[in-house]
Amino acid sequence: MNALYSMLMEQGALPPCRCTVSFVSMIRLTKINKSYRIGQHALHVLRDVDLHIKAGEMVSIMGSSGSGKSTLLNILGILDQYDSGDYYLDETPIRALSERKAAMYRNRFIGFVFQSFNLLPFKNALENVAVPLYYQGVSRRKRNRIATSYLDRVGLADWAEHLPSEMSGGQKQRVAIARALVARPRVILADEPTGALDSETSYQIMQILEEVNQSGITVVVVTHEHDIAERTHRIIRLHDGRVQTGDPVPVRQ
């Protein structure tokens, strides 16, 4: 794998990567298929999807509505199952995991950011950020201390006591990002994180995600906005459940 990478790089097919991008594979999908059963019919959403995301990369997945982006992301996040193919997360095969194992991966390995924020409405910002730590069995005091530092990192230290309903969309998404980061995951999966935000706020969110990536965390952003996608290292295009080949060229620099 590393040999292939250096070869491609020498040929100019790949950019001289930023130092945070390593040669280690973080996500590797081969021939992933997924279909939904709707009554008698089966809707083939993902068709032979091959995907390779290296540790420390920041990639975007683009595609029109219904092209299977969320489905793909949910499979990456072990929220959903795939029908056939292989999925390696950090070189570990992810296949028919027990609910408990899956929960453990989601808790410690993966951070989710959603378009609709998905904060718990009756919990304040700090409590929301602390939720993943609760499922790790971290004590309340320690949880709150860690959560406070992550809220501070997204610039919302003063909003710790506020309920989601008292915050703007951008603030909510920053809380969600803090929550995704609090368990120190290796991968952040963001499904249209800026879909509900105006462009200025969207850029702020992307700024934060870039900083997250620079700290060494692999970031996968699903979006259908070009300006958002262009801020990532690499765009993966989905069309009718297939990965469009022929555009591995990075958009940045």
Ligand X SMILES: Nc1ncnc2c1ncn2[C@@H]1O[C@H](COP(=O)(O)OP(=O)(O)O)[C@@H](O)[C@H]1O
Q: Which of 23, 88, 134, 203 binds other proteins (CB under 8 A)?
A: 134
Close Cβ partners of 155 (under 8 Å, ≥ 6 residues apart): 174
Q: Binding partner of residue 120 among other proteins, Mg ion, ligand X, none, CB under 5 to 8 Å per kind?
A: other proteins
Binding-site member from 97, 104, 196, 251 for other proteins (CB under 8 A): 104
Contact flag: residue 114 with other proteins (CB under 8 A): yes
Any bridge partners for residue 46, and if so which?
Answer: 34
Q: Which of 25, 60, 67, 70 binds Mg ion (CB under 5 A)?
A: 70
Instruction: Report if residue 184 touches other proteins, rule: CB under 8 A.
Output: no
In angstroms, the Cα distances linking 2 to 7, 25, 187, 214 are 9, 9, 20, 21
User: Which of positions 192-251 make contact with other proteins (CB under 8 A)?
Assistant: none
Backbone phi, psi, residue 211, to 5°:
-65, -40
Selected binder of ligand X within 12, 38, 99, 165 (CB under 6 A): 38
Residue (2 or 64) nearer to ligand X, CB: 64
Q: Which is nearer to other proteins, 44 or 123 (CB)?
A: 123
Binding at 170: pick from other proteins, Mg ion, ligand X, none (beta carbon under 5-8 Å per type):
none
How far apart, in Å, are the Cα atoms of 204 and each of 57, 94, 178, 235?
19, 33, 14, 20
40 near ligand X, judged by CB under 6 A = no
CB of 130 to other proteins, least distance (A): 10
Question: By CB under 6 A, is residue 70 in contact with ligand X?
Answer: yes
Position among 11, 40, 65, 165 found at the interface with ligand X (CB under 6 A): 65
User: Least separation, in Å, of the C-beta of 202 and ligand X?
Assistant: 18
- Counting contacts by CB under 8 A, is residue 145 touching other proteins? no
What's the order of all strands across the beta sheet hosting 218-222? 110-114, 187-191, 218-222, 58-62, 234-239, 242-244
For Mg ion, the closer CB: 117 or 150: 117
- Residue from 205, 182, 224 nearest 117 by CA: 205
With contacts defined by CB under 8 A, how many residues of the chain interact with other proteins?
29
139 binds other proteins (CB under 8 A): yes
Nearest CA to 181 out of 113, 125, 79, 228 is that of 113
Interface residues with ligand X (CB under 6 A) are 36, 38, 43, 45, 63, 65-71
Interface residues with Mg ion (CB under 5 A) are 70
